[in-house]
A and B are shown apart, each in its own frame.
Chain A
């Protein structure tokens, strides 16, 4: 089979339905990453507090 050279996403974001609560998918991604940052800080505080 011949190689396709496919190396980039084949759908544009405009073609994919919008997420709930946010205007774009970027908002959802920041929510997940923000939650991670919050948890790491919380866990660090727990570690220090009970050390």
Chain B
């Protein structure tokens, strides 16, 4: 990194922390700290919702996902616009009418205290774990850049975020996110333009997309049905819909965004704004990943994108073996480069026979390259068992660090850090508000002063931050980061959504029945996670359906007479 990059990075981070602290200077009670002043317009809500969802993980992991797997991940978001419409019609008017702080307050009004507490508890578990990954994602960057250990990097970033979050309230988070969102998208668009401009002179934009298509990366939509396939049209429209309903309708980190709106109409427009723009935004980020893939068809990629892990191997007796593998990888690349140029020529000439022949050649060489990469991963496992063997999350940042000019590297890093800090701040704020409002204030200390609850909120922010750091330390054991966040969400979201759907639409089912049904549904989802191969998006559907089904059955068994009101 050049001095200019450091100035841009540190200047931006310093500005965000100071701005966050400055914005909270008026928060004297829990109302100001957790809810803002219901003054937000729809564009602030919309951008804030998008910024909360699009954390550093989105910018680090999604291009890497496209590099490995193509565009098909975009199908994951197909259910989101439908969810935005359903929430706008059903959920927002009720939350506004009841004037709630958190989504779970509504459940006590509809059912009872134990159901409210259970839903709040499930949220706390899954969001607490996800917050750990949100801290872990930018920690990867520093570890790659500076050669620090991930644990140390997690600690440094985590402590900085805790300080910022403890000082910052909901309003400061939302206002900051509006500006950050513009910077994030601006930065990504510039990165996309740069990668295309780095392609060889004879390869235009159209040629680059055609090459990507011939290598199976333009697989945007797949209508074939397969239970075990994570991303296809059907899993996106059903599992994705349920996940989006749960996330935007019941996850406090999102509910808090639109509860701060000026009116029902402003909140609705904010959500619908997200429904219109989320898919194009994800498409763009994935497409940048595909363009990075095409770029590396003409420029040699590293055999393993995580340089820190590779350095560990070089420090052992396996160094010569790794060197040999790198030489083999270079030879394959050189041969492939010729084949890719042949493919470009064939595509320009529209010669089907030549295209088919070149495509086959490139595919065979890609397979050979993949084999070498697998051998390298095996070597890393042998030489440095604590090192990561997945490098998907390093693909984009590795490109940024190596090829973008001075200043732009710092800007993109600042964007990623800002996104991480902002998302984590939002998450820790939601975790603290749910712990205080739904658990502490309702179950532990009901008669505290506003000052007491404000201090408790700050204390719980610190506590959740420390838990997130702890989880971040073990996040490297998980699958691809963005998938890990969604898997954790899917394990709990279906059950939470089931409770809310029963509350909204199934008047007959009461508190005891839905509480027991939720416990049983969660057990079913956990069984599916540990003992079956079912793709994780279906957990949302299974958990939700089980709550409704068990709720009906249990209500029939328990009967209305047994439903005793709680004190």
Contact = CB atoms under 8 A, between A and B. Distances in A.
Interface in A1-51: 1-11, 16-20, 25, 28-29, 31-33, 35-36, 39-40, 43-44, 46-47, 49-51
Contacts, number: 116
B280 interface: yes
Given A7-B505, A11-B96, A40-B233, 8 more contacts: A2-B565, A6-B109, A7-B503, A8-B504, A16-B268, A28-B268, A43-B71, A47-B221
B220 A46 contact: yes
Contact of A16 (B84, B93, B113, B212): B93
Interface string B384-405: 0000000000000000000000
Interface string B81-115: 11011001110011011100000000011111100
Interface stretch (B5-13, B59-67, B271-279, B427-435): B271-279
10 contacts: A4-B109, A7-B110, A9-B94, A11-B97, A16-B265, A33-B85, A35-B276, A36-B78, A36-B279, A40-B221
A33 B78 CA distance: 10
Which label, helix, strand, loop or mixed, suits the secondary structure of the B interface? Answer: helix
B562 interface: no
B511 interface: yes
Given A1-B565, A9-B94, A51-B213, A39 B279 contact: yes
A25 B93 CA distance: 13
Contacts of A2: 565
A36 B81 contact: yes
Interface string B471-502: 00000000000000000000000000000000
Given A5-B507, A11-B96, A43-B221, A29 B563 contact: no
A43 B264 CA distance: 33
B257 interface: no
Contact of A35 (B81, B109, B269, B563): B81
Contact of B81 (A4, A10, A11, A32): A32
Nearest to A44: B221
A4 B94 CA distance: 13
Contacts of B85: 29, 32-33
Contact of B213 (A1, A5, A25, A50): A50
Contacts of B269: 19-20, 28
Given A10-B94, A19-B265, A32-B272, A49 B221 contact: no
Nearest to B265: A17
Contact of A7 (B88, B275, B506): B506
B78 to A, nearest CB: 7
Nearest to B222: A47
Interface in B347-370: none
Contacts of B221: 40, 43-44, 46-47
A17 B96 CA distance: 14
A3 B509 CA distance: 11
A50 B211 CA distance: 9
